Amino acid sequence: MAVSTQEFESIARLEQFDHRSGNAVERLLFNHRGLIVLLCALVTAALAFSALRVQLNASFLKTIPNQHPYVLNFLKYENEVKGLGNAVRIVVEAAPDGDIFTPDYVGILKAVNDEVYLLPGVDRAFMKSLWMPAVRWIGVTDEGYEGGPVMPEDYDGSAASIAAFRDNVLRSGEIGQLVAPDFRSSIIYVPLVEQAGQRLDYGALSDRLEDIRTRYEARGVHLRITGFAKVMGDLIAGLYAILAFFAFALVVTALILYVFTRCLRSTLLVIATTMIGIVWLIGFLPLLGFELNPYSILVPFLIFAIGVSHGAQKMNGIMQDIGRGTHKLIAARYTFRRLFVAGATALLADVVGFAVLTIIDIPVIRELALIASLGVGILIFTNLALLPILLSYTGVSPRAAERSLREERATDTAAARKHGLWRFLDLFTRRGPAAWAIGVALVLGVGGFLVSKEVKIGDLDAGAPELRADSRYNIDNDFLVRNYQAGSDVFVVFGRTEQGHCADYDKLLQVDALEWSLRQSNVVEGTSSFAGLVRRASAGMNEGSLKWYDLVANQHLINGSAARAPRELFNATCDLLSIYAYLKDHKADSLDEVVRVVEDFVAANPSAGIRFELAAGNAGIEAATNQVVKSANVRMLLGVYVAVTLLCVIAFRSWRAVLCAVLPLVLTSILVEALMVGLGIGIKVSTLPVIALGVGIGVDYALYVLSVTQAWLRSGATLSEAYYRSLVFTGRVVIFTGCTLAIGVGAWAFSPIKFQADMGILLTFMFLWNMLGALILIPALATFLLPAARRDAPSGLAARSEAEPAPAEQPARPAPVPATAVRI
């Protein structure tokens, strides 16, 4: 990067301007500006129309790492053993004074069951409830072993059939599974199918469930609904609340921009072009086959904030030119000439931050990265090209232009008239305060690092951490966990055998041993497997005598049990067993513990004829996600820092300057992890991108501040002078940008969706802290790292040899700087 003090001639009259001046891109854009505006209008109209078709949805498969061995196993076996990933549980709770053994309750349960059965996306063959014939009881008679559906086939609501129903429930083995032990509620278990080609519309599904909930709650029962689909449904519903935050961010940003420019016309123009960019972005999504999901919905916020800050820079330049009396079209072209490359490079730096995210093997993060990159790419056109073109028509308000020029002139005069804030920041170019600042930063860095070692991977709260603890969903989930053994967190281990050997006694012995090992863990509340079923069935086939409750070494007895086993315990070709562990929660530590138990077991029991493979169930998938996130976090940070460092090396061509730019970012990265520890936020799919975004956008500040400082240093200024120059030119933009970005994302903190709030808090922290880092730590580090600048570049000529040609003034007397261009 080089900063030039190149000055363009002020031309008030258009006729005097050479329209063939400037580069080819500038001529192409500005010499056909009418056509360009018309084309943009047409494109905007078309994309706005397309934007209306954008879908809000979420996909279970997209939130999981599709290349992880656990997920590969899950996907490989998914069709053989159903209902392992994605299911909704509907708890139908009886009226406060009743239990499930009343005709009212049974009737309502049937009505709910039948409605849910018909919902699109339901895997009906595997649905379970007290009204599903697949849910059976096992009993003994004088003749031996008998069984039947829990709901009597001749149920008619009479006292006799209620009594029969009650007896069946008691001997069904479903207490704690489908029926609460207090008999005040029962579960409708609804597995969902999500296959390529027939996407599940979670928003619509959730709406249908809510409709069912509303109608039946009017009849006295309580419905509690949990499962990934409901979380996604609630998130999608929450997205509409997000629009309010967007409106808030828009208004506040516009106000700040107005205060910054004091020009209504250009404020509106900057907001409008940024919005055009967002319309284009959203319009492109359906064309590219993308949907907005609860994660990528946040991209438009980021794009808006980034767009506005770059737009503000453009405007700053045009105002100063117009203030000097230049014609508005010529001012626009000058600004384009000066800032297009600079702005485009800065935006490309943002793209680096986003692009690094695509190394993470989780589709939602990749989509977020791609959409964000696309958005920033669009901004290069809308805010760096279209905005100057539009400004060339509208111009700016003359009073604002004058004011801008007056401020700039004022800063050129004596240092005694420095603004208070600038005077304060200037302190950090002195060795004493600089040493203090660095000392404090070191203490923060070391302390933060120690704290950040505690940062956890994955979800730290029970229930759905995407939603707030007091959300209806989490209250419902809490009810489920308290009342049922088979809660919503299921971890499935596969046992692979030779075909036809899944029921061999020696294989089941190992399954049984693994199951028992799992149950020793504090995080496992219960388990189920074919081995467990054989234990029970062995008693069942011996007239219910519990003395037979064991895995009897009798293959015929086992085969007899296999004939009655539910389909989820082993597959049709009898080479795959599923062992289910029901966990008390899906916190990262709990999942680690379960994985460790299984791995220890496999290590300690070299298996003969059976191979245990991880994993499925929501908890198994989440364990895989955590592992991917954990390794991705390190790789992503490495990647983003390598990219940012390279960018800085190219820009500054000085390792000392690179250190000045990058060290404050490192401090921010450390502190944000410490902050996550403090706020109880784990590193997960939703927070992982934040860390990369923070660095990618944070480096912008360093580029702006340090490049100007470095240029002035090279032209012979003292650090204090050089830094002051940089403050009055780019420092104000940095402060403006920091505030705009922080407000844009800070509003998320009020989102009903917890992870959006978390992302908002973390991003706000990073944007503000990076801003402080750029304004305080860069000069402080430069005090020690860049004192030799004067020797490196003893004369201004040397500096300019790297910069644009046409020197305008003597660097030894750098007072008048009519127009300074930043080139990155």
Partner 1 sequence: MRIQSCFRAALAASLLTLHPYTVALAAAQATPLDRPAQISRLAVHGALLDVAEVGGRLVAVGERGHVLLSDDDGRNWTQAEVPVSVTLTAVHFADRQTGWSVGHGGVVLQTVDGGDRWARQTDGRALGGALLEALRAARAAGDTALADKLQRFIDEGPDKPLLDVLFLDGKRGFAVGAYGLVLATDDGGKRWRVACELLDSDEDRHIYAIRKLGNALYLAGEQGLLYRSTDGGNRFARLESPVEGSWFGLIGASDELLLFGLRGALWHSDDGGGHWQRLPVDTKYSFAAGLVLAGQGFLLADDGGGLWQFAGGGTPHRLENGARFPLTGLTLAADGGVVASGFAGTLRFATSGR
- 560 near partner 1, rule: CB under 8 A: yes
- 543 near partner 1, rule: CB under 8 A: yes
Please state the closest distance from residue 509 (CB atom) to partner 1, in A.
Answer: 7
By beta-carbon proximity to partner 1, the closer residue of 198 and 522 is 522
Please state the closest distance from residue 466 (CB atom) to partner 1, in A.
Answer: 33
| Cβ-contact 315, 331 below 8 angstroms | no
Please report, as residue ranges, which positions from 150 to 179 form the binding site for partner 1 (by CB under 8 A). 167, 170-171, 175
Please report, as residue ranges, which positions from 435 to 474 form the binding site for partner 1 (by CB under 8 A). none
| Region binding partner 1 by CB under 8 A among candidate stretches 26-34, 602-610, 644-652, 754-762 | 602-610
How far is it, in rounded angstroms, from Cα 355 to Cα 378? 15
By beta-carbon proximity to partner 1, the closer residue of 31 and 517 is 517
DSSP per-residue letters across 372-384: HHHHHHHHHHIII
Please state the closest distance from residue 640 (CB atom) to partner 1, in A.
Answer: 46
Please state the closest distance from residue 502 (CB atom) to partner 1, in A.
Answer: 15
| Region binding partner 1 by CB under 8 A among candidate stretches 18-26, 556-564, 615-623, 809-817 | 556-564
How far is it, in rounded angstroms, from Cα 451 to Cα 673? 8
By beta-carbon proximity to partner 1, the closer residue of 497 and 625 is 497
- 593 near partner 1, rule: CB under 8 A: no
- 554 near partner 1, rule: CB under 8 A: yes
Choosing from 541, 588, 648, 665, the residue that interacts with partner 1 (CB under 8 A) is: 541
Choosing from 520, 603, 604, 805, the residue that interacts with partner 1 (CB under 8 A) is: 520
By beta-carbon proximity to partner 1, the closer residue of 171 and 630 is 171
By beta-carbon proximity to partner 1, the closer residue of 484 and 724 is 484
- 608 near partner 1, rule: CB under 8 A: yes
By beta-carbon proximity to partner 1, the closer residue of 16 and 554 is 554
Choosing from 49, 393, 424, 516, the residue that interacts with partner 1 (CB under 8 A) is: 516
Choosing from 88, 276, 308, 557, the residue that interacts with partner 1 (CB under 8 A) is: 557
Q: Give the list of residues 6+ apart from residue 726 with CB closer than 8 angstroms, or none.
A: 704, 705, 706, 707, 708, 709, 712
| Cβ-contact 549, 539 below 8 angstroms | yes
- 556 near partner 1, rule: CB under 8 A: yes
| Region binding partner 1 by CB under 8 A among candidate stretches 152-160, 274-282, 513-521, 576-584 | 513-521
By beta-carbon proximity to partner 1, the closer residue of 18 and 142 is 142
Beta pairing class for 222-227 and 2-4: unpaired
Q: Which residues pair with 4 in a beta bridge?
A: 821
By beta-carbon proximity to partner 1, the closer residue of 482 and 813 is 482
Please state the closest distance from residue 555 (CB atom) to partner 1, in A.
Answer: 6
Task: Convert 25-36 into a string of H (helix), E (strand) and C (coil).
Answer: HHHHHHCCHHHH
Please state the closest distance from residue 664 (CB atom) to partner 1, in A.
Answer: 51
Choosing from 555, 573, 801, 810, the residue that interacts with partner 1 (CB under 8 A) is: 555
Both tokens of 734, joined, read: 């940095």
How far is it, in rounded angstroms, from Cα 347 to Cα 310? 9
- 355 near partner 1, rule: CB under 8 A: no
| Region binding partner 1 by CB under 8 A among candidate stretches 94-102, 266-274, 543-551, 659-667 | 543-551
Please state the closest distance from residue 761 (CB atom) to partner 1, in A.
Answer: 40
- 500 near partner 1, rule: CB under 8 A: no
- 181 near partner 1, rule: CB under 8 A: yes
**Using alpha carbons only, what angle is made at residue 547 by residues 544 and 550, rounded to the nearest 5 degrees?**
95
Q: Give the list of residues 6+ apart from residue 471 with CB closer than 8 angstroms, or none.
A: 234, 464, 752
By beta-carbon proximity to partner 1, the closer residue of 164 and 643 is 164
- 519 near partner 1, rule: CB under 8 A: yes
By beta-carbon proximity to partner 1, the closer residue of 144 and 680 is 144
Please state the closest distance from residue 544 (CB atom) to partner 1, in A.
Answer: 6
Task: Convert 177-192 into a string of H (helix), E (strand) and C (coil).
Answer: CCECCCCCEEEEEEEE
How far is it, in rounded angstroms, from Cα 712 to Cα 803? 12
Please state the closest distance from residue 500 (CB atom) to partner 1, in A.
Answer: 13
Q: Give the list of residues 6+ apart from residue 358 with CB closer than 8 angstroms, or none.
A: 365, 366, 369, 370
How far is it, in rounded angstroms, from Cα 584 to Cα 662? 43
Please report, as residue ranges, which positions from 703 to 762 form the binding site for partner 1 (by CB under 8 A). none
CA terminus-to-terminus distance, the chain = 4
By beta-carbon proximity to partner 1, the closer residue of 246 and 505 is 505
How far is it, in rounded angstroms, from Cα 74 to Cα 67? 11
By beta-carbon proximity to partner 1, the closer residue of 91 and 179 is 179
How far is it, in rounded angstroms, from Cα 172 to Cα 422? 77
Choosing from 217, 454, 498, 550, the residue that interacts with partner 1 (CB under 8 A) is: 550
Element (H, E) at 316: helix 299-323
Choosing from 246, 479, 548, 784, the residue that interacts with partner 1 (CB under 8 A) is: 548
- 546 near partner 1, rule: CB under 8 A: yes
Please state the closest distance from residue 139 (CB atom) to partner 1, in A.
Answer: 8
Please state the closest distance from residue 566 (CB atom) to partner 1, in A.
Answer: 18
Of 552, 50, 48, the residue nearest 288 (C-alpha):
50
How far is it, in rounded angstroms, from Cα 745 to Cα 759? 8
Of 481, 472, 437, 416, the residue nearest 185 (C-alpha):
481
Stretch 116-155: interaction string toward partner 1, x if CB under 8 A: -----------------------xxxxxxx----------
Please state the closest distance from residue 587 (CB atom) to partner 1, in A.
Answer: 21
* Alpha-carbon Rg for the chain in angstroms: 33
Question: Residue count at the site for partner 1 (CB under 8 A)?
Answer: 42
| Cβ-contact 728, 712 below 8 angstroms | no
How far is it, in rounded angstroms, from Cα 776 to Cα 768? 12
Please state the closest distance from residue 611 (CB atom) to partner 1, in A.
Answer: 13
- 510 near partner 1, rule: CB under 8 A: yes
By beta-carbon proximity to partner 1, the closer residue of 245 and 530 is 530
Please state the closest distance from residue 154 (CB atom) to partner 1, in A.
Answer: 17
Please report, as residue ranges, which positions from 647 to 686 form the binding site for partner 1 (by CB under 8 A). none
By beta-carbon proximity to partner 1, the closer residue of 27 and 536 is 536
Choosing from 133, 325, 439, 609, the residue that interacts with partner 1 (CB under 8 A) is: 609
How far is it, in rounded angstroms, from Cα 219 to Cα 614? 44
Of 204, 64, 32, the residue nearest 121 (C-alpha):
204
By beta-carbon proximity to partner 1, the closer residue of 166 and 453 is 166
Task: Quote the DSSP letter at residue 412.
Answer: H
How far is it, in rounded angstroms, from Cα 406 to Cα 400? 10
Of 749, 750, 751, 747, the residue nearest 739 (C-alpha):
747
DSSP per-residue letters across 679-738: HT--B-TTTHHHHHHHHHHHHHHHHHHHHHHHHHHHTT--HHHHHHHHIIIIIHHHHHHH
- 782 near partner 1, rule: CB under 8 A: no
Residue 555's CB: how many other CB atoms inside 10 A? 13
Task: Convert 149-213 into a string of H (helix), E (strand) and C (coil).
Answer: ECCCCCCCCCHHHHHHHHHHHHCCCCECCCECCCCCEEEEEEEECCECCECCCHHHHHHHHHHHH
| Region binding partner 1 by CB under 8 A among candidate stretches 251-259, 498-506, 655-663, 763-771 | 498-506
| Cβ-contact 401, 322 below 8 angstroms | yes
Which spans of this chain sit near partner 1 (rule: CB under 8 A)? 139-145, 167, 170-171, 175, 181, 504-506, 509-510, 516, 519-520, 535, 541-557, 560, 606, 608-609
